[in-house]
Structure formats: C-alpha cells, structure tokens
Structure 1
Amino acid sequence: MTPETVPSPVVTPPDDHATDETFDVEPPYVPDDESLEAVQKYDDRFLDRELSWLHFNQRVLELAEDPTLPLLERVRYLAIFSNNLDEFFMVRVAGLKRRIAAGVAVRAASGLLPREVLEQIWTTTRDLMERHALLFREVIVPELTAEGIELARWDELDREEQKYCKRLFRDRVFPVLTPLAVDPAHPFPYISGLSLNMAVVVRNPKTEKEHFARVKVPPIFARFVPLGNQRFVPLEDVIREHLKRLFPGMEVGDVHSFRVTRNEDLEVEEDDAENLLAALEKELLRRRFGPPVRLEVEETISPQVLDLLISELGVTADEVFRVPGLLDLRGLHDIADLDREELKYPAFVPTTHSRLAEVESAAPVDIFKSTRRRDVLLHHPYDSFATSVQRFIEQAAADPHVLAIKQTLYRTSGDSPIIDALVDAAESGKQVLVIVEIKARFDEQANIRWARKLEQAGCHVVYGLVGLKTHCKLALVVRDEPDGIRRYAHIGTGNYNSKTARLYEDLGLLTTDAKITDDIAHLFNNLSGWSRNASYQELLVAPDSVRTGLVDQIHREIQHHEAGRAAGIRIKANSVVDEAVIDALYLASQAGVRVQLIVRGICSLRPGVLGLSENIEVRSVLGRFLEHSRVFWFENGGEPSAWIGSADMMHRNLDRRVEVLVRLPGEDNLRAIARLLDLSFSPDTSAWLLGPDGEWVRNGGAVHLQEALIEHQRKWRSQAARELANGS
C-alpha cells in the first residue's frame, strides 16, 4: 500500500510572478529583534517535556479504556502502558534525580525546576497507575471472563487446577526459587530492577520471633500460568500458596508483592575509553546496580514491611506507589497473543509495493531494475519491508555486479535477515561497511553481539563519531553496470528491523538520484573516516544542518506569505521539543502562516494561544501501528518541498546524534506525501487535539487513519489481482 491511494489534496497554485529564479535572488528572511521579542515575551510558551510524555502515555491508556476497540487489543495497550512507564522511570525520572543530586537545579524551558517537575510526575503518575490498575481489575478482567478468558486468583481455582499448580510448583518452580533471609548474618539482598518479588514474614514457633525474607518470582516462567481452556493464574499466587515448602518448620505470615525500578540509563565517557565496545560492556554490568527510582507495592502491604523496604532500598515516601491489584502487567502481552482472532484487529498482511510487485512470474522482482526506472517511496507496514528493503539488501549481497554495501544499523531484530545478508556479502568478497550504533538504548547488548558477528565475517564495522549516536537510517549499494558505476540508496525513517517494520509506521525512499547518492556516499565517508565536510546537496544532516535548515525553511514560509504566495507548514514527528524550532513556528504563526503538527509523543509547543500560536494546530494519532515516520512539508510559494528522515525535533536528535533528512525528489513522491498528510489532518480523522492548557482531547473523528490506509491497501491488492487475472 502506498500513500498514492489516499485522496488528492488541494494545492494552491503559484502566482504568475513566482518562479524559482525570483525565489533564489530574494534575500533570505531574517527575523528582526522586534519579531523575536514578540515571541519571547511569552514566558510560558513551552510545555514541560516530561509532563507531556505522561500525557502521551495517558493517551495509550485511553485506548485501553476505549470500549469500541477489540478486547485483546485493549489488553495489549495495558501492557504497553506498563512498559512505557517503566522506561520513563528508568531514564527520565532517573535523569531528573541525578540532576537534583548533582545540584544542577537549572529551570527547564517550561520554567519548572527539576524538583517541581518531579513533584508533578509523582502526582500525575500515581493517578495514572491507579487508573490503569482499576481498569484492569474492574473492567478488563470481567470482560475477558465474559469471553471465556479467565484470569483467576488462587481461591477461584477448582481442586484439579490446584493439584496441577502444586505439581508445577514441586517439579519446576520450587527448584528455581532461592529464599533470602534478612538478619545480622544475612544483609538485605540486592533487588534487581523490574523484577517481581515477594516480601515474606515468617515466625519461629519456638521463639515467636519474626523474620523477613525475600523471594524473587522467576522471570523465566510465564507471568500468568496457563491452566487450560484459556484459564490462567498469576505465578506469584502459586508461589504464595506453597511458601511453606521454602520455610519448613516456620510459620508463614504476611506475604506482599513488590517491585523496584532502577536507573538504567547508560553513561560512557567515550573520550576516555580506548575501546568503546569494552567500555560499554563494562557499563552494561553496572546498569543492574543503578539506584532505585520507584518502589511499587500492593496496596494491602503492612506498614512494618513497607517501612523495612523503604529503609533498605533508600527510597523516599514520594517514590512509593501503592497499586490496587497485581503488579507488573507487562505480562499481559501473553494474554493479548492468545489465538482469539475475533477479539483482535482484523488480520492484516503487508503488500509488495506496486513498483516492486511480481507481474509475470513467481520470481522476485529485480530491485535494481525497478529502482533505475523510478524512485520507490515506501510506506510501512502497508508496503512490505521483506519484499522491499530486506530484498534490496539480500539481492545486493547475492548480485555479482555489486561491489560494495554500506549501511547503518541502530536497532535490528534477533534473527535479522539484514545481518545475514551483510555477512553473506562480506564472505563473498564484497566490500561491506556497517556503522553499528552500540549505544542504542536498551539494545546495547544485542548490537554488541551483531558487531562482533559482522567483524568475524569480514565486514568493516565502525561505531560512528565520538560523542554522537548514529541514528540515521541509510543503505548504499555500489554496482558495476555496463554504463559505469551506479549507486543505489535507501533512506528511511525507521530501523532495519524486519519485526518492528510490521508494527511501526515508517517511510523510506529507494532511489538512484545522483545528488542523493553522492550525498550519502559522502556521509558514509564522514562516518568511517576523518572527513568533516558538512556540505550536502539534498540532505540535512545533524548535528550540523538539520535545525538550521528547518528553521531557514520555516522563515522562508514567512517570506512567501508576506509576498502573497502560497505558504504553509505541515510536520509529522514523534516528538517536538526543540525551542529554536518551536520559536520559529511561533514566528510563522504570528506572521499568519498556517502550521499543522501531528506529534505521536512529546510536544512542548503550546498551540492556540492568542497572539502567539492561534494559527498552529497540534494533533496526535495512536493506533494498532506505532506512528514513527518524520515528515516536513513546506508549501514553498506553490512549489512544495518535502523531507523525510530519522530526526525528531529534540535536543538529543539535533545536537548529539547523526540524523539525516532527505528532500524527496519527483512530483509523484510529493503527491503521495501530500495525500498522506491531507488524510492525517482531515477534520474527519480520529485524533487527539492539543489545547493551549497542555491537555489532549479526542476529537471524535469517524475516520481512523491506519484503518483507512489498510482499506486502501486491500482495494489496491484486489484491483491488482483482477488485472493480473485478466492479463492486463
């Protein structure tokens, strides 16, 4: 499915006098001091990024609350909410605490001090976690039961089920458990981050003295134990019922579940590390021992046990979260995976892009021949990743005319066909350069493993530039053809990951455009060698030119508007935080330029403020696929330009990462993007709208963007099948 199937937009034609020549000679717009002051006088113009992220996770929770969605999809959104919140505490809350401890109490752009942000996080998070737990317990569990999927507690099991659990505990669980006592001879044990634990109080019947012990719920077993007939019981219930076997001769008293979240963000001083790979491996070992940032406990926990946990773990009362029900609902992914298709979104199978589709034979299309003919703008997951990007790399690896392959890897799948193809290419004698970002958060261990595998196969593996993460998504193939050397490139918004490509919405361009491929070859030389020439024809590359390039184009739209030419800005991103970009958008709004943003996650821009941003609309779309593409559209006086790439509008992306945006060539590609954006911003499309108060409200639109694109893809597939059957 390609964006070409979305209804065509209305594009304002250029004025008769507006030509490329007149645009080129017109001096660039530079805002004067008065214009800048008109923006900067609004001291509260930036929403806090951390609180904005919590609003994003609230939107995920609202999907779980939505009764119109399939039940098992709502269950999955509950699991996603839990996982998101874990990462937020491990990284963002941990970062705030670190700044406070270091005495770096600098106000954020929102005007809030780290302590003030942290206090609002405690309050907001506590409310969201309670809402999440009650939704699961009081709404989702009964609805699952009504559909024959039962999440039972121990007391609800029949005799045969209890016997089965007893055998399971005896044969499999008991041998794995390790009770750890706490007394003068046994210090309080280390509690690993995100592990589910049981605080057990036991009593010696002879001395009547009470003792404390910790039992870790083994993560190697299913979180919800299957009992058959789609009935499940929490693993901790099974363990709790059989704790006497762990403490023979003792009386088991209070038993409470608890869970600790730790700081798991990595810090590697690259300038001091002779071997980045070895330094990172060492830091990964240290990650397990980061300081705690959150303690989750059952709401029924006794004051004595809670006081002990608080004291031994070194957390504050603010960092304690009482949960009304089960802890750690990430395990609900297993329930969402049940074979109950009627309780899920309708099945969806990606389609091979029309320009890459098999026509006359069952053999895969020649990617090189198709790309030479015309650029291919891919839209995943509607367009199959396997029959486009993956096939591009695989065919390059097998093609005897291919001389070299150069590629960036940020995150990839566990059994990556991309990695296998690169290994095959190197072993067949091709020059293979791979830029592996081994500091990709939470994927460091996997990327270290891939780096070593690629090195052993003979690939040239480098880790990018010191101090910068290589986040761009690029692949370049150099091929020897009858008319000379030709370069083929793929540049995208998403990772080279065949699994997430079925779940993430992303864009990608396959092209032989000489200017683009020259730029990409130049960038790879920068990444692998010593060149620092940051001049490119068709690319914007962070940290050198993405921010300045986009701000210049925003200013250009002001210039077009003031000259009476067509002007408008439409941006699609995961996050919009960077103050310079936001101020430029405010400036455009004040000048009368219409600005539309579609932001999945964090947005620090405050829309709809009279005199500042009344011409700015911000919306968010969430659904079965994770909206991940980044698009930057400028009306440009009636000669629209569009950029796609890896960069979000965040400080880390613009200052501390190698990011790439490419200007899309060709009218077909521009029309496709225009149609996609038109559907995204249609008043009929379901979305959350951001208000000037920072609150997001669902608009009640009847058209669901992703379902509409799936339907377009199905219609295209049916039409193609009919044409093939008719021999046309």
Structure 2
Amino acid sequence: FMKRIGGLKQQIGARVRELSVDGRSPEQQLSECLAVVRDLVEQQRVLASHLHRLLKEQNIVLRSYQRLTEAQRSQMREFYLLNIFPLVTPQTMDPAHPFPFISNLSLNLLVTVRYANDDASGLARIKVPVGSGIPRFLKVGDDELYVPLEEVIANNLDLLFPGMVVEACELFRVTRNAIAERDEDQADDLLLMIESELRERRFASIVRLEVEKNMDPIHRGMLAAELELDEVSEVFEVDGMMALRDLFQIVAINRPELHDPSQHPLDHPKLGDKKRNIFHIIHDTGPILLQHPYESFATSVERFALEASEDPKVLAIKMTLYRTSADSKIIESLIDAAQNGKQVTVVVELKAQFDEAANIRWANRLEEAGIHVTYGVLGLKTHSKVMLVVRRDFSGLRRYAHIG
C-alpha cells in the first residue's frame, strides 16, 4: 500500500497523463485500487475473527480489557504503572500546541478530556509505545491470556489525566508514502542521496488513515482535515484490531504442536562429501543445479563463499548484494576473505525497498574491512544474486560462479 498507492498519488500530483498498459489513468487506477483494498480489509476482518476462535480452542486467548476480572485488571494496571507508564506522553492539541507529527504505522489514541467543572472539551494524542522491548500484547497471569497494550492504556487514562473527565478514547493509525525517489542521474553521491531519502520517508505524505469503528464523525473529519486526506476515499474504518502484523508475537509462543513441521533442507547429492574441496567437486562434475529451500543453502552457497575465503588458491571474489539477514554468513566470509589478502568487490544495491538502511550499514562495514564497494547501476536496480570466484588452478586462472 505504501509503495503502490503512494506512487499513484505522486503521479496524480505530477499531473501524469500517460495511461497504463490496460488503458487506465492514474486517477482510475487509484480509485479501483482503493475499492479493492476495502474488500481486502473486510476479508482480513473475517479471517482475523476466525483466527481468534482457532486460538481460543487451543487455550490462547486475546481478550478485551473490559472482559478481564477485577483482579486481572488490578494486575495489569500495576504492570502498566511500573513498566510502561513512564514511556507514555500525551500531547495536547490546541492553538498553543499544533497537531503533532504522526509516525508511519504507529498506533495512536485520540483522547477527549475536560475538567470536571468545565464543559469545554480538549483533545490529546497518545502514541502507543510498541517496540523497543514493549510488546503489543501483554500477558495476563500464567495462562496464555493476552490483552492489547492500547486497551490497557485506554482504560487507565486517569493516571495520565488526573482530576479530568475522559469523554472518549479512539484508536487510529496512518500509512505514509514509501516512495521518495530522486533523479539518480543528478546525484553527486548515490549513498548520500539514499540516506537523504530515508530521512525524508519519515515525513512523507500520508496516503491512508485507519480509524476504529464508530469513531466520532467530528473527530474523524478533524483527523482527515489535519492530515490532508479525503475523508470519503482515504479514511478506512477498521472493525476489530489494527496492525495485525503484531500477531507474530503470538506465533512466537512456545507451542510447537501448533506449528507446521520444520523444513529440513537436504544436501545436494554432489555436495555430500564435506571434506572435499568444493572447487574440485565443481571442476569434476560440472554445473550443479540447486533448488532452495529444498536443498540446503548452508551446505552449498554458504560453503562456496566460506571455502573461497579460506582457499589459498583463490585470488578474488566478486558478488552482488541485494538483501541479506542480520547474521549473514556470506558477509562474514567476504570479510574473512579480505582479511586473508584476497581481492573482494561487492555491488551493494542501496535501493532495496525498505532495506536501504540495512544495506547502508552493510556497505559501511564491508568498506571498513577493506572491501571495494560499489552501489549498483544508475537507473537500474540489481536484484541478481551472483558470486564470481577467481581461483588459480593447475592450468591457470579459472572462474567459478554462483548465479541465483
């Protein structure tokens, strides 16, 4: 959504008149996309409700704060006061305090409060502090019973607004445009350009507002106006839980019987001999066709990079890097190779969508290890997974490649 809808809105803003391959203008594409998304949101609601029932059958319960017992509420209030309350900061909205910045995909509470002896109401925004060690779902007692963090905050607002009357508390979330691309041909430094784009993305235009069902229409309209959105087409009413991706926290519960069996990749038959040099195997058997994840990545590609980094006959390693894990063994092998005196060159694709920051960190680390790093080709995005190893064999220099 951030990428596709954001891109269409940029085209409309730039008055692009070129039609798509199926003859639709950007305005038509946007209208039809938003209609499809509303259908998907309804399907998501139905599936989420079904998932809750399935979890309950396995004694894993996601419960509303209002349905907790008095003792459970007391327990959650104490936990909140000790562990989360110091992290929560309400921001008032009045002529002296302009509408606050709303970060992308954050959960927010719009709170309506007034003093007990005053009829005039005021608004405040609270950002739900999910992340940095704070879970979205708080465990209640020893059983697998969980309550959403935003509901714990919403039902203990007297701690944040002492002496005031809380008239309403409503949940909302915004989605920002992920497209902030500039003209690469005009950039003096591609790395600096991407770093600048990452900073700008935090403040990119908002392309969607999600509000809880039955939000006060006045508040809904106010939010849409402040965020410069069309209330009819760009505001989505959510009947149920927002940010369902946070349910991965529940997936992490230690209930192995509820998970699919683990996939154990097989070693390729030609690579079964772990003691033999992989370059000798390739030289003797010829090309090896690998199918991941059915055949092991660790005993093929990672082994290829590891042995290349250690083999004294290997002179150079060249590869492309698009996305990689935080604990990449390939990266470690490249660094080891450079430390072992080999010529190592890596093309790091800085424009890997949503992985730009990670790739910048990898590029810096590789350069610190003495590896020659380049940043792809202007105007193109490098998706290929290629590694070229130059090795001195008995007959001269021979090139070994992994192409994925």
Residue 352 of structure 1, CA deviation: 1.3
Q: Please give the alpha-carbon distance, in whole angstroms, between the structure 2 residues aligned to 1:458 and 1:413.
A: 21
Q: SS at 1:377's partner residue?
A: coil
Contact 1:198 1:214 in 2 (8 A): yes
Q: Please give the alpha-carbon distance, in whole angstroms, between the structure 2 residues aligned to 1:281 and 1:347.
A: 38
Q: 1:346 aligns with which of 261, 268, 280?
A: 261
- The reply on whether 1:392 has 2:307 as its aligned counterpart is no
Q: Please give the alpha-carbon distance, in whole angstroms, between the structure 2 residues aligned to 1:270 and 1:110.
A: 29
Contact 1:426 1:459 in 2 (8 A): yes
- The reply on whether 1:198 has 2:109 as its aligned counterpart is yes
Contact 2:180 2:204 in 1 (8 A): no
- The reply on whether 1:130 has 2:45 as its aligned counterpart is no
- The reply on whether 1:407 has 2:322 as its aligned counterpart is no
Residue 376 of structure 1, CA deviation: 1.2
Q: 2:216 aligns with which of 302, 306, 329?
A: 302
Aligned to 2:280: 369
- 1:673-716 superposed Cα distances (whole Å, 9 cap, x missing partner): xxxxxxxxxxxxxxxxxxxxxxxxxxxxxxxxxxxxxxxxxxxx
Aligned to 1:147: 58
Q: Please give the alpha-carbon distance, in whole angstroms, between the structure 2 residues aligned to 1:203 and 1:337.
A: 41
Residues 1:232 and 1:404: Cα distance change in structure 2 (over 3 Å)? same
Aligned to 2:375: 463
Aligned to 1:624: none
Aligned to 2:250: 335
- The reply on whether 1:158 has 2:69 as its aligned counterpart is yes
Q: Please give the alpha-carbon distance, in whole angstroms, between the structure 2 residues aligned to 1:283 and 1:135.
A: 36
- 1:527-560 superposed Cα distances (whole Å, 9 cap, x missing partner): xxxxxxxxxxxxxxxxxxxxxxxxxxxxxxxxxx
- State, as a whole percentage, how many aligned pairs show the same letter: 47
Letter in 2 for 1:250: M
Residue 364 of structure 1, CA deviation: 4.8
Letter in 2 for 1:91: K
Q: Please give the alpha-carbon distance, in whole angstroms, between the structure 1 residues aligned to 2:167 and 2:310.
A: 65
1:241-640 equivalences in 2 (<5 Å)? 241-317=155-231, 318-358=233-273, 363-374=274-285, 375-492=287-404
Q: SS at 1:469's partner residue?
A: coil
- 1:564-597 superposed Cα distances (whole Å, 9 cap, x missing partner): xxxxxxxxxxxxxxxxxxxxxxxxxxxxxxxxxx
Q: Please give the alpha-carbon distance, in whole angstroms, between the structure 1 residues aligned to 2:158 and 2:70.
A: 19
Q: SS at 1:371's partner residue?
A: helix
- The reply on whether 1:226 has 2:151 as its aligned counterpart is no
- 1:250-274 superposed Cα distances (whole Å, 9 cap, x missing partner): 1111111101001012313222222
- 1:387-409 superposed Cα distances (whole Å, 9 cap, x missing partner): 11011101111111110000000
Q: Give structure 1 stretches of 5+ with no counterpart.
A: 1-88, 493-728
Contact 1:258 1:297 in 2 (8 A): yes
Contact 2:59 2:144 in 1 (8 A): yes
* TM-score, scaled to structure 2: 0.96
Residue 303 of structure 1, CA deviation: 0.9
Letter in 2 for 1:478: V
Q: SS at 1:141's partner residue?
A: helix
Residue 483 of structure 1, CA deviation: 2.3
Q: SS at 2:2's partner residue?
A: helix
Q: SS at 1:413's partner residue?
A: coil
Letter in 2 for 1:273: A
Contact 1:357 1:365 in 2 (8 A): no
1:715-726 equivalences in 2 (<5 Å)? none
- 1:288-347 superposed Cα distances (whole Å, 9 cap, x missing partner): 011111111111211121111011111102001111111110111121232223222222
Letter in 2 for 1:349: H
Aligned to 2:150: 236
Residue 365 of structure 1, CA deviation: 4.5
Residues 1:160 and 1:366: Cα distance change in structure 2 (over 3 Å)? farther
Q: CA RMSD in A?
A: 1.3
Q: Please give the alpha-carbon distance, in whole angstroms, between the structure 2 residues aligned to 1:351 and 1:268.
A: 44
Aligned to 1:672: none
Q: SS at 2:86's partner residue?
A: coil
1:81-100 equivalences in 2 (<5 Å)? 89-100=1-12
Aligned to 1:180: 91
- 1:232-251 superposed Cα distances (whole Å, 9 cap, x missing partner): 11111111111111112211
Contact 1:134 1:324 in 2 (8 A): no
- 1:384-435 superposed Cα distances (whole Å, 9 cap, x missing partner): 1111101110111111111000000000111211111111111111000000
Residue 123 of structure 1, CA deviation: 1.6
Residue 377 of structure 1, CA deviation: 0.7
Q: How many pairs align? A: 399
Q: Give structure 2 stretches of 5+ with no counterpart.
A: none
Q: Please give the alpha-carbon distance, in whole angstroms, between the structure 1 residues aligned to 2:322 and 2:43.
A: 35
